Amino acid sequence: MELLTKHETEWINKIWEKLDAKLSVVTLRSRDKLPFCTKTHMHDDTKDDGINCWTNGFWPGLNWLMYSGTKNEEYLKTAETGEKLLDAAFDNYDQISHDTGFIWRLASGPNYALTGNEKSRIRQSMAASHLMARFNPVGEFIRAWNKHSIADDCSGLTIIDTMLNLPVLYWASREYNDPRFRFVAMKHADNTMLNHIRPDGSVRHVVIRNSETGEVTGEAGGQGYAIGSCWSRGQAWAIYGFVLSYIHTGKEEYLDTAKRAAHYFISAVCNTWIPMLDFRSPKEPAIYDTSAGMIAACGLIEIARLVPEYEKGLYMRAAIKLLMTIEEKYADWSKETDFIIDMASGSYKGTAHHNENIIYTDYYFAEAIYKLKGFEPLFW
Ligand code: GLY
């Protein structure tokens, strides 16, 4: 059975062409930037003030995706420029958190996979080694943050987002034929499955542990509305993170967990297909997060590829519905602006960005279309 209808295939082809038409222009003017969002519709730049931001792999990664799919060398030049700029993040060692997978799996992983660049292999290896060193062997978890406003002591905090950092460890195990990296990734994934996923399939963002004993002592609301709520991007990290851990290890429970998280996400979003930032927050103020939809779509596409024939339609239709609805409502295809998808958010509280364009939304939108076009390699 074909996974996509004729209409969907035509739409995917059209969107890929639009991505290339716009990004082949934006790549030239944002060549030496590491954008987070836009100011008056043009990319901002975090390279001087925020080089260690977890989002800094997304612009190089987006350019690697476009290079991989088009072979236009202008994308490669921008991707390599961003990758080199990120060497300054290694110099800022105290500022490196668990996000080394988000950053270097996207900035350097594709370069090594596509061109064999030796420096990219080293950068990715450093990212994997740093992440390994954050493993707490008593509690069997990877420490997330160094410092955070939610706790004076962050040594026992885990967050669902770390699931997307694990692929750099799976890569290192394969690259060096050394199971240690995979062992650590799987211990962390097992622990996350046990403590972050609720019985109804919804996800806790932050779990608090005693870092001496590993005992779970509580949870925090994190970037969502409150303790007990459901941050939609965290829910999407669970879908995509667990299916990726399944792809890299073959452990069935990870696929089951990705599916449970997906079922919760689909039932929470299916009235509108535009995710609220938190699925359990009050309706007002209306804070949306289109990035959650794009990340979830990437995970749903992978699940659809893995499940038996009779299950595929559920996941693939949900992915397409998210992509088409959000694109129709919030895409900006003008070549005068630098962003593509609007209405993403950072977090519920604080000085968070609300209902804006943020680079990771464009990255995951393009990654979903790249997957649907049938391009390889998988970037995670
Ligand atoms: N730290 C990843 C996120 O904000 O989703």
User: What's the one-letter identity of residue 92?
Assistant: N
From the CA of 234, give the closest atom in ligand 1: 5
Q: Tell me, what's the pLDDT at 352?
A: 79
* Eight-state DSSP code of residue 254: H
Residue in this structure with the two tokens 């390699």, named with its chain if needed = 377
Contact (CB, 8 A) for 224 and 272: no
Kindly give the distance from the C-alpha atom of residue 39 to the centroid of ligand 1, in angstroms, as a whole number: 21
Kindly give the distance from the C-alpha atom of residue 293 to the centroid of ligand 1, in angstroms, as a whole number: 14
Residue in this structure with the two tokens 């939809």, named with its chain if needed = 293
Kindly give the distance from the C-alpha atom of residue 9 to the centroid of ligand 1, in angstroms, as a whole number: 31
Distance separating alpha carbons of residues 278 and 230, to the nearest angstrom: 5
Residue in this structure with the two tokens 């997978």, named with its chain if needed = 101
Q: Which of 96, 145, 161, 358 to mutate to test the pocket of ligand 1 (most atoms within 8 A of CB)?
A: 161
Overall pTM > 0.95: yes
Q: How many other C-beta atoms can be found within 10 angstroms of the C-beta atom of residue 257? A: 26
Kindly give the distance from the C-alpha atom of residue 53 to the centroid of ligand 1, in angstroms, as a whole number: 10
- Pocket of ligand 1 contains residue 54 by CB under 6 Å: yes
From the CA of 360, give the closest atom in ligand 1: 5
- Pocket of ligand 1 contains residue 105 by CB under 6 Å: no
| Protein residue with least CA distance to atom 4, ligand 1 | 346
Kindly give the distance from the C-alpha atom of residue 114 to the centroid of ligand 1, in angstroms, as a whole number: 27
Kindly give the distance from the C-alpha atom of residue 161 to the centroid of ligand 1, in angstroms, as a whole number: 6
- DSSP per residue, 106-170: HHTHHHHHHH--HHHHHHHHHHHHHHHHTEETTTTEE---SSBTTBS--TTEEEGGGGGTHHHHH
Distance separating alpha carbons of residues 297 and 273, to the nearest angstrom: 11
Distance separating alpha carbons of residues 127 and 113, to the nearest angstrom: 16
Q: Tell me, what's the pLDDT at 222?
A: 95
Distance separating alpha carbons of residues 295 and 344, to the nearest angstrom: 12
Q: Tell me, what's the pLDDT at 100?
A: 98
User: What's the one-letter identity of residue 306?
Assistant: L
User: What's the one-letter identity of residue 101?
Assistant: G
What is 6-372's CATH number, 3.40.640.10, 3.40.50.10090, 1.50.10.10, 1.10.287.610?
A: 1.50.10.10
Kindly give the distance from the C-alpha atom of residue 310 to the centroid of ligand 1, in angstroms, as a whole number: 33
From the CA of 99, give the closest atom in ligand 1: 1
- Pocket of ligand 1 contains residue 233 by CB under 6 Å: yes
Q: Quick one: tokens of 153?
A: 């002591």
- Pocket of ligand 1 contains residue 205 by CB under 6 Å: no
Distance separating alpha carbons of residues 39 and 356, to the nearest angstrom: 10
Q: What is the pLDDT of residues 146-165, one digit of tens each?
A: 999 889 999 999 999 999 99
Below-70 pLDDT ranges, the chain: 1, 351
| Protein residue with least CA distance to atom 3, ligand 1 | 161
Q: Dihedral sign for Cα 137, 101, 316, 334, please.
A: positive
Q: Tell me, what's the pLDDT at 350?
A: 76
Query: Cβ-count burial of 49 within 10 angstroms (0-12 exposed, 13-18 middle, 19+ buried)?
Result: exposed
